[in-house]
Structure 1
C-alpha cells in the first residue's frame, strides 16, 4: 500500500470515527468471508480503524435513544417488532425507548436481506442476542470506569447502569461517549429463557401506532423533488413485445408529459410495454387506458388452463428426475395386492397482496436510488449494479413498509422497470401498478399435478412413489437451463422422520414446459406439495384400516420425541379419540418448523359443508412473540382456505383470465372459521412462522370432508357450497 493510499485511508477512517463515535455508541457484527458464517461483534471505532463496513444493529445516542436497524423488510410478518424485541432483551432497555429504521440494501454488509423462507428470526437471533448483550456489557464497563468500581458490582436495567452497593445510576446516554471507545467483549453470558422479560411475551408491535395513524411510509407514500409518475401497459402475453402503438389520445390527457416504449426483465426474458409519464398518478392511469397498441407475440405459446393440466398429466407417464430415493419401490407395484395409484391437482395462484406493486427510482449517470416495498433489497442492489454496470456502492435501495409480499416483492422486475423509465426521462419517477397489472402479469404460484403410488403390507407402507409434474422455477433464470436439473423442493413439506420408516421410496419431478412465469408464493412448493402428501397419507390410512393420526404416528420412530409430542398435543387439544364425524388432520414440516392442523366441518345445505374450526399446533422452537405467531398462523390459514376453495388463476389464449377481485375473490370475514393456535414450548432452534402453517390446511380440510361425507377431493380449488362428485 502506498503512503498516499495509507494516508487517505487514515483520513477517511478519522472522519468516520469523528462522525460515528463519541456522539453515540454503535455496535454491530460482520461476517468475515472465511469465517464459516460466525459473526464477529465490533464497535464503530474498531470497524472504522480496520476499514470494515459494520452491520450497525444498535446505536445509542446521548439522549439514551436506542435505534435498531432492521435489515429485513416488514410486510406484516413482524420483523419490525421481533428484531427490536430480541435486542432489547439483552440490552436491558424498555421497548418504548427504541426506534427502528430500515437498513439500506447492502449484501456484503448485512448478508442476506431477503425476507422469505421465514428466515428473519431463525437466521439472526443468536447474533442479535449477543450484540445486545455486548452493548450492555460495554455500558456497564463504562459506568464502572466512571465510578472506579468493579464491573461485577454493577448491572443494567431500564436503560441505566446501577451500582448495587451505593445505588448510583447512570443513563445509557451519559455513558455512550466512554463506551464507544471500548472493545466489545469476546464472549457474553446470555439470559436463561426463564429470565426473559420481552422474548416469548405478547408485546405490542412497534409499528402499530404509525400504521393506525397513517404515519407509516409505504412505497406509494414516497415523494421526491421533481418526481414524475408513470403507468405502464405491458404485453398481455408473457414475454411479448411492442410492434407499434398510437398515443395520440393518451397525450391529449391533461397532465401527460410523454409516452415511451419500455421494457422489463422477466427471469431470462424480457417483457415490453408502453409507459405514460405524467405529473400525477391519475393522469398516467387514465391515459394508459387510451393507448392503442399492437403486440408482437409470434412464437409465444398460447396456453390455456386445460392444455397445461393435460400436459402435466401426460408428463406423469415419464420417470421424472429423482430428488430423493431409497430401495426400489417400482418393482413392488405390479405384484402388490394392496396398492394405491392416485392423482392430485393444485392451481396456479396470484400473490394479490393488498398493496399492488410500485417503485420510485432516480437514475443519474453515476448512481441509482430506488425506494419501495421491496422484499430483497440486496438482490435488487446486485441486479441493478450488474444491469447498469455501476459499482454496487453506487446503487442505493431503500425499503419502505410492504402491504403484503408473499414472495412477489422479492422479484427484480418492477424496480428494474422503474429505473429504466427514470433513465429514459432523466428524472425521478414513481411507477404504480394497477390491480389488473398485478394479477395478470405474474409471476404466479405454479400449479401442479401429483402422481402418488403406494404399496401397503398390513398396516404399514412398504413402497411409495410421488412424482410432481409442474414448472420448475429454477429453470427460468437461464435462457438455456439444464433440463436435467431436478427440482430440489420436490420433498418440501414432507415430515423428515417419514423417510426412516418407509423401506422403499422415490420422489421425482417432471419439469413442465410453459411460457407462464412462476415464482415463490407463501410457503413455496410446500403450499402445493402438502396437499398431495397429506391427502395421500389419509387415503393410505383408510386403505390400511387405521386411524389417520395413529397411522402417521406409527411411521415416526420413537426416537423422534419432538414429533410425537406435537402429535400428542394435537390429539389432546382436539379431543381426537372422542371426536364425531367431520374431522381431518394434516401435517407439514418446512422452514425449520413442524405444524399439525385439525379441521372440523359440518354439513351445510344439501351438498355443502361449513368449516367450523381449525386447530393449529406449531412447533417453531425458540420464538419471540406469541401474538405475532398467532397472527401469522391465522393469516396463513385464511390464505390457504381461499386458495383451496375460492380463487385460482386460469389462462386462456396465453393470457391470465382473472383481472381483479370480482373474479379472483379473496376470503372474507364470513368465510373465516374459528382458529385456535397452540405453540409448543421447547428449546429447539428457531423455526419459521410466516409460512409453515399454510400447507396443512387444504389437505386437513379435504380429509375432514371425506370423514363427514365420504367424498374425496383431489383437485383444488373446489366449492364448499357445492362439493364435487366423489
Structure 2
C-alpha cells in the first residue's frame, strides 16, 4: 500500500541536511501512454495528488544541490544523474554538490539499481526537471526587472537580460522562484547545444574515494551502536536445533546472543547472532559459539551431482517437429553442449547493514542497491507504516545485484528489534562468499544446421538450470518451459526473423541452492552458449565469423556496429599465427560487439593480447563513465571465464575467500580499447551489456588459434 507523507519544503530540506531557503522542484510520473509528466512544486504535491519526485535545491548563497535517487556502486550514476539535470538547469558541475536521496517512491519514483535502467529510464524526466527549474528562475528574474521572460536567458547559475546585460544569481532569485507555478511544458535543448552532456567530466565521487572520506556502509557509525556477526547454516537449509553460548558470553564485550532470520524469496533462513560492543568481540564470541543444526532432511549436493542432474535434464523431451524437419534437411549439422559454473557476487565490500528499530519506526543505513524494495519489505515484515521506514544509501563497494536483496537489512532490523538498540551487522568475506544466493550454473545443448546458401537453417538451444529463487528442491514437479515460449538472452533480435527455424527452451533443475540475479542476468550465461554456437555454425558454413553474423542481420544499427567493429579491430588484417574471436550481444538496451585477440607465447601458453569493445548505447551522458563500465565488465567477465567459480561439496560452498576464488590481477588484464557508437537513438544500458560478449569472443579466438573449442567455463589458459 502506498502512503503519501505530508512533506513540507521546510521539512524536506531539514531532513536532507540543507540550510536556508531553497527552491525544490520535482517531476511526477507520466500516466500510461504519455511521454512526459507534469512538473509540480513540493508544496503542491498534496493538492495535485501526484507522486512527487524532488531533485533540486538552491540556497540563497547560490549553492545548488542535486539529489541522486539511485545507488552508486561504481557505475557512475552519482555523476551522470546530476550531469543531466545540470545541463538543462544551466549550471556547471563545479557549482553542484550531489547527495543521495533516501528511499521515497512518492518523491523519487522507483529507485532500484538494476537492469542498466538509471539513464535510459529516467533521462527525459531528469532533463525536464532541470529545464523547469531554469524557466522558473528566469520568470522570477523577469518579474524583478519588469520585462518579458523571453527577453532573458540563463547561463552559469545566473539569469541575464539580453538587452541590458543585467544579471541575477540563482541564489538571489530562489525565494521568489519558489512561489511560482512550474511550467507545464518546457523546451529541451538539442543535442548539438549541450555544454556538459556528452563530455567526460570528472566524477564528483572520485576525490572522496581516493582520500578516504567517502562513506561506504562499512564506514557508517551511530552513537551507541553495537556490532553483530551471525553464524548461519553452511548448508543453506535447516533450522537452529540448539546452541551453546556459554563460552561466547565469557568474551569481554559480548552483550547478546539470539536467533535471527533472513528471508530469501519467501523462505526463512536461520542463524545465531552474536552482538557486542566491538566487532572484534563479536567475532571472537562467534568462534566459541556451538550451534547444532537440524538440516538432515535436505539434499546435500556436490557440484558433480548437480551438473550431472543438469545434463540429465537436457535429455528431457522437448519436441519440435518443425525444427527437427528443418535440421534434418540442412546441408550440414552440428551439436554441442556448453557448461557455465555457479558464481558468487564477491563484491569488494562484503554485505553489511545498520538498523535502528524503535517501537513504530525503522531506520537503515548501508550499501543499499534497491531502496524501495527494502523499505517495503521491512514495513510489511515488521508491521510498521512505510512512511516510518527510512532507508539511507551509502556508497556501495560493488553490488552486481546482490545488494538489491532485502535479506541482509531484514536480518539487521530483527537483531536491532531484539536488543532494542542500533546495530551494525557485518558479514565476513567467508559469509559473503558461501551463504548465497549465487548466480546459477547452467548447461546448454545446442543443435543447428546451415543451408545451401551457407546461412542458418535451424538453431536450437535447450538449457538446464535453476531458476532464480530459494532453491527448487521443494517443487512437487518441475515443468519444462514450453517450446518457443522463451528467448535466448543476449541474442541479437534479428536472428528471430532471419533464422527460419529456431527453438529456445529450458528445463528447471531441482536443487536446494539459493540463486539470484548477477550482473547482466540471463545474458551472462546464455550469451556464452549462443554466441559460441553461432561461431561454430559460421565455421561449419566455412564463412568469416563476423561476415556470417552480418549476413543474418537487417537492422541498420546492427550493420553499423559490425562495420565499425571490423574497422576499429582491423579485423581483415588477422593472420594465421593469431587467434581472433568475435561476439555481439544485445541486452538491457545496449548493443556490444567485442573482438578478442590471442596468441601463443614462446612458453606455449595462451596470452590474451587485446580486447576491442564497441558499445551502442544511443544517447549518452559521460563517455569516460561508459569506458570505465565496459572495461570493468570485461575484467569481471575475464574472472568468470578463466579464474573463479563456486563449487559445492556435501551441500556447502567450497570457495570461502580469494585464495580459492581468485580475482584477475593487473598482470592478468589485457589491453582493452573501448569505442562508443554515435547515433541519435534513445539511451540504452551501459553497466551490464559490456559483460556477456567477452567469454564467447575469447573462446572463439582460442578456437581460431588452436582449433580447440572451449565449451566449459572456467578454464585455465595454461591448459589450452
Taking structure 2 as the reference length, the TM-score comes to 0.95
How many residue pairs are counted as aligned between the two chains? Answer: 709
Contact 1:21-1:45 at 8 Å conserved across structures: no
Instruction: Give 1:312's match in structure 2, choosing from 290, 310, 313.
Output: 310
CA distance in 2, matches of 1:507, 1:489: 6
CA distance in 1, matches of 2:305, 2:56: 55
- Residue 18 of structure 1 deviates from its aligned partner by 11
Match of 1:462 in 2: 457
Unaligned runs of 5+ in 1: 1-8
Give SS of 1:352's match: coil
Match of 1:417 in 2: 411
- Residue 319 of structure 1 deviates from its aligned partner by 3.7
- Residue 481 of structure 1 deviates from its aligned partner by 9.3
Contact 2:330-2:458 at 8 Å conserved across structures: no
Give SS of 2:261's match: strand
Instruction: Give 1:345's match in structure 2, choosing from 332, 339, 351.
Output: 339
- Residue 333 of structure 1 deviates from its aligned partner by 3.2
- Residue 332 of structure 1 deviates from its aligned partner by 2.8
Aligned 1:140-179 pairs, distance under 5 A: 140-179=138-177
- Residue 265 of structure 1 deviates from its aligned partner by 1.0
Match of 2:182 in 1: 184
After superposition, the Cα gap between the structure-2 partners of 1:275 and 1:23, relative to the gap in structure 1 and judged at 3 Å, is same
CA distance in 2, matches of 1:584, 1:32: 44
Match of 2:518 in 1: 521
Any idea what the Cα deviations from partners look like across 1:658-685, whole Å, max 9, x if unmatched? 0000000000001000000000001111
Instruction: Give 2:242's match in structure 1, choosing from 241, 244, 251.
Output: 244
Instruction: Give 2:400's match in structure 1, choosing from 397, 406, 415.
Output: 406
- Note the aligned Cα RMSD (angstroms): 2.3
Contact 1:647-1:717 at 8 Å conserved across structures: yes
CA distance in 2, matches of 1:490, 1:247: 52
CA distance in 2, matches of 1:447, 1:171: 58
CA distance in 2, matches of 1:506, 1:335: 16
Match of 2:573 in 1: 578
Any idea what the Cα deviations from partners look like across 1:676-716, whole Å, max 9, x if unmatched? 00000011111111110100000000000011111110000
Contact 1:139-1:175 at 8 Å conserved across structures: yes
CA distance in 1, matches of 2:5, 2:718: 73
Is 1:651–2:645 an aligned residue pair? no
CA distance in 2, matches of 1:688, 1:494: 15
Match of 2:351 in 1: 357
Match of 1:23 in 2: 21
Match of 1:440 in 2: 434
Is 1:386–2:380 an aligned residue pair? yes
Contact 2:466-2:472 at 8 Å conserved across structures: no
CA distance in 2, matches of 1:599, 1:148: 64
After superposition, the Cα gap between the structure-2 partners of 1:721 and 1:575, relative to the gap in structure 1 and judged at 3 Å, is same
CA distance in 1, matches of 2:524, 2:648: 20
Match of 1:472 in 2: 467
Contact 1:570-1:596 at 8 Å conserved across structures: yes
CA distance in 2, matches of 1:344, 1:272: 36
Contact 1:465-1:507 at 8 Å conserved across structures: yes
Any idea what the Cα deviations from partners look like across 1:225-273, whole Å, max 9, x if unmatched? 2211100010001122211212222212121112112111122212111
- Residue 330 of structure 1 deviates from its aligned partner by 2.2
Taking structure 1 as the reference length, the TM-score comes to 0.94
Contact 2:217-2:394 at 8 Å conserved across structures: yes
Instruction: Give 2:53's match in structure 1, choosing from 55, 64, 71.
Output: 55
Match of 2:713 in 1: 716
After superposition, the Cα gap between the structure-2 partners of 1:388 and 1:93, relative to the gap in structure 1 and judged at 3 Å, is same
Match of 1:6 in 2: none
Aligned 1:197-212 pairs, distance under 5 A: 197-212=195-210
Instruction: Give 1:260's match in structure 2, choosing from 254, 258, 264.
Output: 258
After superposition, the Cα gap between the structure-2 partners of 1:10 and 1:117, relative to the gap in structure 1 and judged at 3 Å, is closer
Is 1:676–2:673 an aligned residue pair? yes
Any idea what the Cα deviations from partners look like across 1:353-395, whole Å, max 9, x if unmatched? 0000000001111111111101000000111111112211111
- Residue 208 of structure 1 deviates from its aligned partner by 1.2
Any idea what the Cα deviations from partners look like across 1:457-511, whole Å, max 9, x if unmatched? 1201111111111011158699769954859875210100111101111110111
